[in-house]
């Protein structure tokens, strides 16, 4: 077997050697190598007892790994392993390597990165294939020889999709489907070589699920996927009837909010295998501080998220301007990765003269973030539906803040009302309304008893519904159900 296709069990490496592998996996691993690193959903099986561990592995297909903005996927993988499910990871590309959460190092599943490809923009399909085909030629040649019929029918389907879903009658074919076929073929050959993968699962129902679906067709291994946010709501993510076809082909679909599940049910009547499974979080790790800030300290309002439109941070800046003009004593810390609204937010802070009360800071690791939660008294996340339809599901940071005992102020966008009930678990204000946001923040700044009441209610809510020890068990039950061997009929 060629070395780049050889997989080792993680148990074969331990101690310093495993740590050395983890430390250098972003830089020294060849482009196709594996890296060994240390209310209930619909139609859900009975979870009174943990489901049995199935024979074989689930192959997880993810676009990038690890990613700071997708820690929910990392934690899901880790917790599924803790529950005894065997996984094998296929990442289309490397994620954020400058900062990596500790949990990444605790994942034991074999990880394979696909060969890197060049951009499709500004080039013809022939030119792109000339540059990238050699990286995939060996795996595709072997796959064609081993499975000629599935290979040719899947290739035909990819070509048909490139024509069917092009942007207009006179537009050229969409090259992305050919790229995804190449990537799917590489995964399919690795799945065939490993011989242990019994199910495939894609995260986000656009590119990653297209690749997963094609890999499923190439291998005959069934697949499922998780749908999240913009991949459901933005039409260009799944043009035409593409999303319906994925839903019909998948053994099951999970999504992280009831709002998403309802949206899919309305768009695709009769699709009864969509399950709501909340991401969940570790409620022991994110817990209230033993000591609260003293009464004479300046109260801190915290906001966490990428600096993009759907987070609504520009309205938080305007609300802070109203609070400052009203004489309120506070400071605001905004943490997140750079996005398309970073400069807009900075300019608004300067425009309103808020440099003395608002500080923007880049993303931080979980240990540091947990401490920042404990140093804050209010968490604000004024989410909105962006102009292009993008929106949050249930932001993980909102659940983390509530688990940490913070009083939260947010909006009723998408699945957030499933987590935050107004004046029970937090305060809910209209989206894009800085006056209402400022009024809610002012009320919490002035009323410590209300803050503590909502903080206690918020933590109880998260522990009741979003505890990852419960939500991950639901997801595992779905995998176990579809991986059970068929029973002979007497």
Residue 366, domain CATH: 3.40.50.2000
Whole-model pTM?
Answer: 0.82
Residues 316 and 406 in one domain: yes
Q: Is residue 293 part of a domain?
A: no
Please check whether residue 217 lies inside any domain of the structure: yes
CA pair distance 337, 5, nearest whole angstrom? 35
In a domain, 295, yes or no: no
Map residue 76 onto helix, strand or coil: helix
Give the other-Cβ count within 10 Å of 486's Cβ. Answer: 5
Residue 164 placed within a domain? yes
* Positions of the chain with pLDDT lower than 50, given as ranges: 1-49, 487-490
**Regarding beta strands 34-36 and 110-113, do their DSSP bridges make them parallel or antiparallel, or are they unpaired?**
antiparallel
Residue 291 lies in a domain: no
Going by C-alpha positions, the residue among 289, 262, 290 that lies closest to residue 275 is 262
Query: What is residue 52's predicted lDDT score, i.e. its pLDDT?
Result: 65
Q: What is the predicted pLDDT for the residue at 97? A: 65
Q: What is the DSSP letter of 104?
A: G
State how far the Cα of 269 lies from the Cα of 419, in Å rounded to an integer. 26
> H helices of 278-341, where?
313-325
The answer to whether residue 290 is domain-embedded is no
pLDDT value of position 55: 75
Peptide bond between residue 293 and the one before it cis (omega within 30 degrees of 0): no
pLDDT at 293: 55
Tally of domains in the chain:
2
For residues 265 and 345, state if they share a domain: no
Instruction: Tell me: do 326 and 232 sit in the same domain.
Output: no
pLDDT for residue 54 = 72
Q: What is the dihedral of CA 391, 239, 208, 398, to 10 degrees?
A: 10
Do residues 239 and 316 both lie within one domain? no
- Report the run of H or E that residue 279 belongs to, with start and end: none
* Cβ atoms < 10 Å from Cβ of 243: 21
Tokens at 288, concatenated: 């209230």
Q: 345 with 269: CB under 8 angstroms?
A: no
288 vs 379: CA distance, rounded Å? 13
In this structure, the answer to whether residues 156 and 12 fall within a common structural domain is yes
Sheet with strand 57-65: strands edge to edge: 34-36, 110-113, 86-94, 57-65, 197-203, 223-227, 253-255, 274-276
Residue 235 shares a structural domain with residue 333: no
Run of H or E residues at 331: strand 331-335
- Residues whose CB falls within 8 Å of the CB of residue 31, separated by 6 or more in sequence, listed in order: 113, 114, 115, 116, 135
Give residue 31's pLDDT: 38
Domain contains 122: yes
**Rounded CA separation 373/353 (Å):** 26
Strands annotated E in 45-179: 57-65, 86-94, 110-113
Q: Does 386 lie in the same domain as 368? A: yes
Q: Which domain holds residue 314?
A: 300-466
Q: Based on the fold, state whether residues 448 and 477 are members of the same structural domain.
A: no
Element (H, E) at 226: strand 223-227
Q: Are residues 478 and 459 in the same domain?
A: no
265: which 2 tokens?
Answer: 């049910």
Residue 488 lies in a domain: no
Question: The tokens of 385 are what?
Answer: 């539906």
Asked if 120 and 173 sit in the same domain, the reply is yes
Same domain, 245 and 328: no
Q: Give the torsion through C-alpha atoms of 238, 385, 460, 426, to 10 deg.
A: 180
My answer on whether 274 and 323 are in the same domain is no
How many other C-beta atoms are found inside a 10 Å radius of the C-beta of residue 239?
Answer: 14
């Amino acid at each position: 077997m060629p070395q780049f296709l050889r997989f080792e069990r993680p148990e074969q490496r331990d101690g310093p050697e495993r740590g050395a592998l983890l430390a250098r996996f972003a830089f020294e691993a060849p482009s196709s190598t594996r890296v060994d690193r240390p209310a209930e959903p619909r139609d859900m099986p009975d979870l009174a007892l943990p489901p049995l561990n199935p024979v074989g592995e689930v192959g997880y297909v993810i676009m990038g790994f690890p990613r700071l903005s997708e820690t929910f996927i990392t934690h899901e993988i880790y917790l599924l392993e803790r529950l005894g499910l065997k996984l094998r990871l296929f990442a289309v590309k490397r994620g954020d390597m400058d900062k990596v959460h500790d949990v990444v190092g605790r994942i034991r599943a074999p990880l394979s990165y696909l060969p890197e490809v060049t951009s499709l923009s500004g080039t013809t399909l022939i030119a792109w294939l000339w540059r990238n085909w050699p990286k995939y030629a060996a795996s595709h040649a072997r796959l064609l020889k081993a499975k000629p019929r599935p290979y040719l029918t899947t290739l035909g389907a990819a070509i048909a999709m490139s024509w069917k879903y092009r942007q207009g009658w006179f537009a050229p074919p969409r090259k992305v489907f050919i790229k995804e076929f190449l990537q799917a073929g590489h995964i399919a050959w690795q799945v065939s070589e490993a011989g242990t993968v019994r199910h495939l699962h894609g995260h986000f129902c656009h590119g990653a699920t297209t690749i997963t679906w094609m890999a499923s067709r190439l291998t005959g291994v069934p697949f499922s996927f998780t749908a999240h946010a913009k991949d459901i709501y933005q039409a260009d993510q799944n043009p035409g009837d593409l999303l319906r076809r994925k839903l019909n082909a998948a053994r099951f679909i999970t999504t992280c909010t009831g709002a998403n599940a309802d949206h899919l049910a309305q768009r695709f009547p009769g699709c009864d295998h969509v399950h709501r499974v909340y991401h969940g979080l570790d409620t022991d790790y994110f817990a209230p501080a033993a000591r609260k800030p003293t009464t004479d300290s300046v109260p801190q309002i915290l906001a966490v998220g990428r600096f993009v439109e759907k987070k609504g941070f520009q309205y938080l800046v305007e609300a802070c301007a109203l609070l400052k003009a009203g004489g309120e004593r506070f400071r605001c810390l905004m943490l997140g990765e750079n996005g398309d609204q970073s400069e807009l937010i900075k300019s608004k802070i300067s425009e309103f003269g808020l440099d003395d009360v608002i500080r923007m800071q880049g993303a931080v690791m979980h240990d540091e973030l947990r401490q920042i939660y404990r140093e804050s008294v209010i968490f604000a996340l004024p989410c909105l539906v962006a102009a292009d339809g993008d929106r949050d599901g249930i932001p993980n940071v909102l659940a983390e803040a509530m688990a940490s005992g913070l009083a939260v102020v947010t909006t009723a966008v998408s699945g957030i009302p499933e987590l935050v009930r107004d004046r029970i678990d937090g305060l809910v204000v209209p989206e894009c309304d800085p006056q209402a946001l400022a009024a809610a923040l002012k009320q919490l700044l002035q009323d410590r008893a209300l803050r503590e009441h909502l903080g206690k209610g918020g933590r109880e809510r998260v522990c009741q519904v979003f505890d990852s020890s419960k939500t991950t068990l639901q997801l595992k039950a779905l995998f176990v159900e579809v991986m059970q061997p068929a029973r002979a009929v007497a």
